């Protein structure tokens, strides 16, 4: 132990001597870096040697004072100083620590260190790569940049940075763990079953409690009864506690009725009605409760009676298992049918009554629809009659208006009115107006030659014998022309 302590202990004088020797062989910047690394390494070694001495001298056992016995008999793990000798390192700056993988950092005495090369000629370079060449003959696959040139130069392309290696290793480890997690494990079915039955017990208990509360509430509501005699009792108590001289005439009259037995007869009537109502209601409630209780007991016994074990089957036992289950289900079905029969009878009776009511409703609907149809037909007839009367009134009004308009036109019409066609020409509904005298004649013969001969003009004027409209046509005066407007109206 003392030899190892002396071997790794470096005093500040030694550091000064080593720094002076190194200044003669390297540049100032490089010498400063080496001196700092040596000082850091020596400080670490001194701290570890002190801690070992303290731990060694603090032991009170004989083994602590016998160096040879402890070293020969017991195999202790390598001390921090020996680990430091095998893995030379230096302190990492905070900036470098952020970019380094955790596995590439050496942690000792609360410090974060990085590994450096142990070869003296490699100037304590950082260990930066790992060789992945399968047939590499070097003594160490980890190395610095000098190691890469000296021992791995012929396969330098197979070198990988340590940080990259650590990241790839973590990715592969993640894939490895995921694949291992995909391996099927035997499930913990017992815990699953116990959890299921624990939840089932809680659910069943809560459900039964809820059923109990609902049943009690429904029975309480069904049997709720407001005593009819309460108001009557209050009235009689009021009359019996009041002084007779303080009573009003109405109260005296009611007191006389009480003496005559009016209130007694009312109480007897209340007794009969209350007994009828409550007897019927209690019987209904009791019957409903009996049906509900029997149904609940049957359902619980049917659901839980045969389900008291689980049967594990394989492909060879499928037939027997299916037959057994079918038999159990058939028995349950028969029991259910027995429970359903009385309710089915009631349901059939109710359905028959509903059918009769439905038939009556349909007949009533048909009768109402027929009545509505007749009313609609009658309304349509009345509407048509009113419309015809309105049309007649309007036509009469139009006729009167036309007649009035015609009379007005007749009073101011400048020509002779003709109502019949002339036999000397083709039949038409217009009368030509001769330009020679500005008078209307059916034809030239009717115009005559007494005063002057008729003048034939083209175009010529004429008027309609029906509408008395005067207009110009592109035909000679002696040619028959019809008024198209009146002709269209007639057609």
Residue 213 domain-assigned (yes or no): no
Of the candidates 138, 162, 184, which is a domain's last residue?
184
Of the candidates 355, 379, 403, which is a domain's last residue?
379
Which tops the pLDDT comparison, 17 or 280?
280
Residue 177 domain-assigned (yes or no): yes
Shared-domain flag, residues 366 and 434: no
pLDDT, tens digit, for every residue of 315-353? Answer: 777 787 788 778 877 877 787 787 778 888 888 899 999
Residue 308 domain-assigned (yes or no): no
Residue 152 domain-assigned (yes or no): yes
pLDDT, tens digit, for every residue of 233-264? Answer: 888 888 888 888 888 898 888 889 888 888 88
Residue 417 domain-assigned (yes or no): no
Residues 6+ apart with CB under 8 A from 311: 321
Torsion of CA 106, 111, 117, 123, to 10 degrees: 170
pLDDT, tens digit, for every residue of 53-93? Answer: 333 333 333 333 333 333 333 344 444 444 444 556 666 66
pLDDT at 382 over 80: yes
pLDDT, tens digit, for every residue of 28-44? Answer: 334 334 433 444 444 44
Q: Facing residues of 126 across strands? A: 116
Q: What is the pLDDT of residue 188?
A: 76
Q: What is the pLDDT of residue 87?
A: 57
Residue 210 domain-assigned (yes or no): no
Q: Facing residues of 482 across strands? A: none
| Count: domains in the chain | 3
| Domain extent for 328 | 313-379
Of the candidates 379, 396, 414, which is a domain's last residue?
379
Report, as an integer, the average pLDDT of 285-310: 77
Residue 214 domain-assigned (yes or no): no
pLDDT, tens digit, for every residue of 405-462? Answer: 877 777 778 888 888 888 888 888 888 888 888 888 888 888 888 788 888 888 888 8
Residue 86 domain-assigned (yes or no): no
Shared-domain flag, residues 371 and 438: no
Q: Count of CB atoms within 10 A of residue 125's CB?
A: 15
pLDDT, tens digit, for every residue of 160-204? Answer: 998 889 999 999 999 999 998 888 777 778 888 888 889 988 988
């Amino acid at each position: 132990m003392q030899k190892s302590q002396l071997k790794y202990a470096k005093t500040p004088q030694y550091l000064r001597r080593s720094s002076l020797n190194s200044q003669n062989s390297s540049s100032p910047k490089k010498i400063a870096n080496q001196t700092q690394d040596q000082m850091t390494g020596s400080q670490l070694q001194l701290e570890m040697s002190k801690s070992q001495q303290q731990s060694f001298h603090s032991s009170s056992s004989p083994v602590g004072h016998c160096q040879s016995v402890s070293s020969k008999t017991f195999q202790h793990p390598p001390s921090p100083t020996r680990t430091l000798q095998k893995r030379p390192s230096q302190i990492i700056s905070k900036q470098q620590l952020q970019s380094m993988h955790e596995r590439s950092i050496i942690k000792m005495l609360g410090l974060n260190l990085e590994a450096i090369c142990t070869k003296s000629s490699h100037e304590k370079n950082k260990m930066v790569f790992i060789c992945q060449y399968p047939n590499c003959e070097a003594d160490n696959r980890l190395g610095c940049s000098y190691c890469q040139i000296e021992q791995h130069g012929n396969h330098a392309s197979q070198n990988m940075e340590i940080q990259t290696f650590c990241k790839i290793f973590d990715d592969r480890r993640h894939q490895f763990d995921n694949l291992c997690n995909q391996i099927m494990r035997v499930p913990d079915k017992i815990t699953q079953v116990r959890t299921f039955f624990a939840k089932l017990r809680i659910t069943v208990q809560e459900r039964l409690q809820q059923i109990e509360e609902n049943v009690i509430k429904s029975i309480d509501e069904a049997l709720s009864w407001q005593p009819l005699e309460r108001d009557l009792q209050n009235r009689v108590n009021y009359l019996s506690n009041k002084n007779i001289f303080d009573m009003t005439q109405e109260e005296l009259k009611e007191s006389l009725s009480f003496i005559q037995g009016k209130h007694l007869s009312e109480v007897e009537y209340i007794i009969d009605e209350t007994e009828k109502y409550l007897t019927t209601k209690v019987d209904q409630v009791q019957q409903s409760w009996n049906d509900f209780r029997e149904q609940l007991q049957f359902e619980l016994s049917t659901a839980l009676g045969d389900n008291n074990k689980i049967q594990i089957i394989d492909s060879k036992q499928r037939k027997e298992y299916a037959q057994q289950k079918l038999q159990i289900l058939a028995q349950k079905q028969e029991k259910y049918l027995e429970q359903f029969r009385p309710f089915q009878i009631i349901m059939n009776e109710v359905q028959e009554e509903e059918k009769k009511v439905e038939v009556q409703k349909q007949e009533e609907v048909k009768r109402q629809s027929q009545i509505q149809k007749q009313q609609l037909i009658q309304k349509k007839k009345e509407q048509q009659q009113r419309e015809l009367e309105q049309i007649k009134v309007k036509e009469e009004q139009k006729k009167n208006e036309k007649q009035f308009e015609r009379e007005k036109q007749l009073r101011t019409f400048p020509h002779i009115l003709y109502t019949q066609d002339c036999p000397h020409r083709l039949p038409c509904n217009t009368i030509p107006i001769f330009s020679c005298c500005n008078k209307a004649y059916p034809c030239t013969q009717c115009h005559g030659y007494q005063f002057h001969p008729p003048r034939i003009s083209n175009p010529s004027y004429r008027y309609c014998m029906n509408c008395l409209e005067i207009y110009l046509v592109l035909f000679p005066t002696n040619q028959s022309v019809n008024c198209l407007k009146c002709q269209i109206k007639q057609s």
